[in-house]
Amino acid sequence: MVDQGSGADIMYLDLFKGLNLKLEDLTLYDSPLISFEGKAVIPKGQIHLPVQTGPKTVDVDFIVVNAYSPYTTIVAKPWLHALGAVSSTLHVKVKFPSREQIKEILGSQSVARQCISTAILHQAESRSLATEDL
């Protein structure tokens, strides 16, 4: 997911483990973040990784969190700026310059809707379980 308003690039623990990265690879990052559920999340740490986007590779500092998300990562302003990219949430598209031409990353509106629906359902289920505990 591309979040134009965020200043933090986020990687969720499932992807971190899927890339065979180890907790020892992380550097300290202890500022809490707010999850989709509105809860404070303490990051596991931060990791500096190269991210290849088409022919361009940019270095990204991902904050690694163990929290629910329908996404594997959230890329934000730091990634967009390093890539020299412009994103459109309306068109689910990112454009960036590369070798004297403009490259385009196309997303899927149906997948984006599905992720949002999943997040909303998960949030509703979490609230329902919290209410049952009372």
Residue 46 has pLDDT above 70, yes or no: yes
Does 9-133 carry CATH code 2.40.70?
Answer: yes
Tens of pLDDT, residues 50-75: 998 888 889 999 999 988 777 788 88
Strands 45-53 and 40-41: unpaired
Dihedral angle sign, alpha carbons of residues 31, 65, 123, 120: positive
Q: Which tokens belong to 5? A: 């308003």
Q: Which tokens belong to 78? A: 């730091």
Length of the chain (residues): 134
Angle, CA of 51, 118 and 50, to the nearest 5°: 5
Tens of pLDDT, residues 90-129: 888 899 998 889 989 887 777 766 766 766 676 666 656 5
Quote the pTM value.
Answer: 0.76
In percent, how much of the chain has pLDDT > 90? 31
Q: Which tokens belong to 106? A: 């196309």
Indicate the DSSP class of residue 4: T
pLDDT of the residue at 18: 92
